[in-house]
Amino acid sequence: MIGACSWDINKHKREDFCVMYEIRNYHFKPELLSQYRQWAKTKAVPHLSKELDVLGFWVNSEDPSEVTGEAQDKLGSANVTWIIRWRDLAHRNEVLPGVLGSPEWEAIFAHVPGGRSSYLRIENKFAESLTE
């Protein structure tokens, strides 16, 4: 598995491994979300999980999001979220373009419901864990 991390408290310092998480949030066309869920579950997630250290991949349920504070824009909450673990940003920038640019991924992505335009917005943010 590319990008797989491990941490043994007895052998290594925490900062040597798994210091960054990429949280990918998609605003996918709601009317195609059911088809997207099936595509992701049967095609995208198995491939991406084989190539990357994917910690989870979630598609919203039918229950409405709970939002407090400032009003959201017209897209509302993201309806797809997945998280990838990386050593650091350089590792991500080295590996991810190859995975997403591979012929295998292009063949899978060619069948995303509604095509590329079904992604109304893509947000990627980078985080460190405060619990590990």
Total-model pTM: 0.83
Tokens encoding 24: 């990918």
Does any domain span residue 5? no
Domain with residue 49: its CATH number is 3.30.70.100
Task: Give, in degrees to the nearest 5, the angle at Cα 11 between 132 and 5.
Answer: 50
Q: What is the pLDDT along the chain (132 residues), one digit of tens a residue?
A: 344 455 443 444 444 555 899 999 999 999 999 999 999 999 999 999 999 999 999 999 989 899 999 989 999 999 999 999 999 999 999 999 999 999 999 999 999 999 999 999 999 999 988 886
Structural domains counted in the chain:
1
- The tokens for 95 are 């590996």
Which neighbouring-strand residues pair with 123? 25
The whole-number pLDDT of residue 11 equals: 43
Task: Print the domain residue range for 119.
Answer: 17-61+76-127
